[in-house]
């Protein structure tokens, strides 16, 4: 989860709202009661509004003062869309911020130099999509570059930043942000690797190499308990360029806080994959922004100055923001002969039969297993031999490296918790856990709540390992410490200081976003109850799990569950796109 959960459950919040409404408008409160309950239930599932039929919309138009049209009423009616007033305002304000940034003036570009550099840096036949995206981003102050894993989003951004530096009189102030600590660290590392792949003046290379990935919370300096940011509209971020990775994980509220803090004239580039899971919080920001690229005649002419052979289509009246987006489709990681790539593409296209056939076609990369939690745990223990050797040697770097060799994912938290308990019992059988000890060497931890003082955030992964600075005495925990990866190494922390956390040998697919692993297992139970435990296994969740894997994907479940997931979608209601069109006028 990106934002902290501070609200009541859907039904509890709905009842509280109805009690409040009943205090000043009892008749209207009775009329809106079923719709309020629907709204809060929908909000829990990530929707920002509910659809009404014509009769209900007409009736609620007379439910003032609780229901208003284009006002700050508790409920807002917009045609047949019914919003909680706060969600209507959030999406409306976000649309205005996006339009502000997309219509901002940016510094000019040296056409001739940029043309030559683009030709040099994107010379490969399979780099044309990246080249076109980078060139368009040179022209646009607000840009979305989307694409699946291995399509080169980070490489494109690295070269874009190099181009911006070459076109600037002074080196621009650059911010790198992502929703989670894992994603921010991964982004920074990938960017630094990409910088070594093309020629740059040393001062520019050093400037870009100094860029540090930060969580959005840390960038804005959000502080509890009110979670008010230090940076905002009145005190904008001191940046000239802002790159945001894994943008699909940002909900409406956090994206609004971020964009409000962006100063006029600062370029914004969002990176993400709209086929992945949406944010935990409400909205579907990336999915609402993603669309085919269409350029108007003036933008096409400007782009042709630096890239005469670009591959974008033109239109006389393109949709709003269609010339502020580019999708990368060629995967440098998963080619036509890649099992993971073929499986991911079939799942995205909803081709259930074809997707299942990939397991037979690519047995070295893909497999299907059946078995209970005890069998799963024992098999994982056998595959984690290198990890446990690193644990025994108290080799922090090697332990983190091998912990990601095989990672277990689950659709729901209850499935992850069940596996974690089974694996703990497995470790007890192998003598690695003594009794009911709370902590043990090799334990994988996941932080559950942001702790700004410790610089630890929800979703961060740590390992419990031997502490060489303390000898084991009366308590097992006195010889252990928790370690967390940082940009410049690892941070050691006393176990007693840890914020709220849980064991995470297995985690939910949601929590895995922004990370990649060598091998990925996905646990899929035969029966699923959304009311009991959140999101069902569907296409977005399945695709996200598959694309966390670099080398091998293992599906623990039946063909029926897998193929049902391939054809199941849980699309969210969001009005961001029409609100953007309205804000453009």
What residue numbers does the annotated binding site for ATP cover? 147-154
Q: Using DSSP, state whether 529 is helix, strand or coil.
A: coil
Please give the Cα distance from 514 to 184 (Å, whole number). Answer: 8
Please give the Cα distance from 107 to 474 (Å, whole number). Answer: 65
Name the binding residues: 147-154
Alpha-carbon distances of 88 from 78, 482, 537, rounded to whole Å: 9, 43, 29
Classify residue 502 as exposed, middle or buried by CB count within 10 Å of its CB (0-12, 13-18, 19+): middle
Token couple for 210: 């100094």
Task: Count other C-beta atoms under 10 Å from residue 5's C-beta.
Answer: 11
Q: Contact at 8 Å (CB) between 394 and 466?
A: yes
Task: Count other C-beta atoms under 10 Å from residue 561's C-beta.
Answer: 19
Q: Contact at 8 Å (CB) between 552 and 71?
A: no
Residue with tokens 């409406």: 252
Give the β-pairing of 222-223 and 444-447: unpaired
Q: Which of 18, 12, 9 is nearest to 36 (CA)?
A: 18
Residue 329, phi then psi, degrees to nearest 5: -120, -25
Please give the Cα distance from 419 to 413 (Å, whole number). Answer: 10
The tally of CA atoms less than 13 A away on the side-chain side of residue 203 is 6
Q: Contact at 8 Å (CB) between 197 and 157?
A: no
Q: Which of 344, 312, 349 is nearest to 331 (CA)?
A: 344
The tally of CA atoms less than 13 A away on the side-chain side of residue 315 is 12
Give the β-pairing of 461-466 and 313-314: unpaired
Q: Using DSSP, state whether 38 is helix, strand or coil.
A: helix
Q: Contact at 8 Å (CB) between 416 and 508?
A: yes
Please, what sign has the CA dihedral across residues 182, 187, 192, 197? positive
Please give the Cα distance from 579 to 585 (Å, whole number). Answer: 10
Q: Using DSSP, state whether 120 is helix, strand or coil.
A: helix
Q: Which residues of 191-201 are buried (b: 16+ CB within 10 A; e: fewer)?
A: bbebbeebebe
Residue with tokens 């959000």: 222
Please give the Cα distance from 525 to 536 (Å, whole number). Answer: 10
Task: Count other C-beta atoms under 10 Å from residue 578's C-beta.
Answer: 16
Q: Contact at 8 Å (CB) between 39 and 82?
A: yes
**Furthest-apart CA atoms within the chain: distance in Å:** 77
Please give the Cα distance from 22 to 245 (Å, whole number). Answer: 44
Q: Contact at 8 Å (CB) between 167 and 131?
A: no
């Amino acid at each position: 989860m990106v934002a902290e959960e501070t609200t009541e459950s859907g039904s509890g919040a709905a009842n509280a709202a109805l009690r409040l409404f009943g205090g000043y408008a009892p008749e209207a409160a009775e009329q809106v009661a079923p719709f309020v309950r629907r709204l809060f239930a929908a909000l829990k599932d990530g929707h920002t509004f509910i659809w009404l039929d014509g009769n209900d919309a007409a009736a609620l138009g007379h439910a003032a003062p609780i229901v208003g049209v284009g006002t700050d009423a508790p409920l807002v009616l917009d045609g047949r869309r019914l919003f909680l007033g706060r969600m209507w305002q959030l999406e409306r304000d976000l649309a205005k911020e996006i339009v502000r940034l997309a219509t901002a003036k940016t510094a000019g570009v040296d056409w001739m130099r940029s043309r030559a550099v683009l030709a040099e840096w994107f010379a490969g036949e399979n780099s044309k999509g990246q080249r076109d995206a980078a060139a368009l981003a040179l022209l646009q102050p607000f840009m979305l570059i989307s694409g699946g894993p291995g399509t080169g989003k980070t490489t494109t951004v690295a070269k874009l930043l190099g181009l911006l530096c070459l076109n600037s009189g002074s080196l621009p102030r650059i911010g790198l942000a992502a929703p989670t600590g894992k994603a921010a660290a991964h982004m920074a590392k990938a960017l630094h690797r990409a910088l070594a792949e093309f020629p740059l003046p040393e001062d520019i290379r050093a400037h870009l190499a100094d860029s540090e990935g930060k969580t959005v919370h840390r960038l804005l300096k959000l502080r509890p308990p009110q979670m008010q940011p230090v940076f905002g509209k009145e005190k904008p971020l001191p940046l000239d360029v802002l790159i945001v990775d894994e943008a699909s994980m940002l909900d409406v509220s956090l994206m609004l806080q971020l964009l409000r803090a962006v100063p006029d004239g600062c370029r914004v580039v969002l990176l993400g994959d709209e086929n992945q899971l949406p944010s935990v919080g409400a909205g579907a920001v990336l999915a609402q922004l993603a669309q085919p690229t269409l350029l108007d005649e003036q933008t096409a002419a400007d782009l042709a100055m630096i890239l005469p052979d670009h591959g974008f289509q033109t239109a006389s009246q393109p949709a709003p923001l269609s010339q502020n987006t580019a999708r990368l489709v060629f995967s440098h990681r998963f080619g036509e002969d890649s099992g993971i790539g073929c499986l991911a593409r079939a799942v995205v296209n909803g081709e259930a039969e074809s997707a299942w056939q990939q397991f037979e076609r690519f047995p070295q990369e893909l497999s299907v297993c059946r078995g209970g939690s005890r069998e799963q745990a024992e098999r994982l223990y056998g595959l984690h031999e290198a990890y446990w050797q690193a644990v025994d040697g108290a080799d922090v770097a090697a332990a983190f490296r091998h912990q990601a060799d095989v990672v277990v994912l689950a659709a729901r938290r209850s499935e992850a918790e069940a596996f974690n308990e089974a694996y703990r019992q497995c470790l007890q059988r192998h003598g690695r856990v003594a009794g009911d000890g709370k902590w043990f060497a090799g334990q994988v931890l996941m932080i559950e709540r942001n702790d700004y003082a410790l610089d630890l955030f929800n979703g961060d992964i740590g390992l419990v390992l031997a502490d060489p600075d303390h000898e084991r005495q009366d308590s097992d925990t006195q010889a252990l410490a928790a370690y967390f990866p940082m940009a410049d190494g690892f941070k050691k922390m006393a176990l007693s200081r840890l914020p709220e956390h849980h064991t995470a040998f297995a985690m939910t697919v949601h929590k895995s976003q922004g990370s990649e692993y060598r091998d990925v297992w996905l646990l899929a139970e035969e029966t699923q109850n959304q009311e009991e435990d959140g999101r069902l296994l569907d296409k977005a969740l399945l695709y996200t799990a598959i694309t966390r894997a670099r080398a091998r994907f293992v599906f623990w479940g039946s063909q029926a569950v897998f193929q049902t997931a391939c054809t199941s979608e849980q699309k969210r209601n969001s009005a961001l796109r029409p609100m953007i069109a309205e804000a453009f006028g």
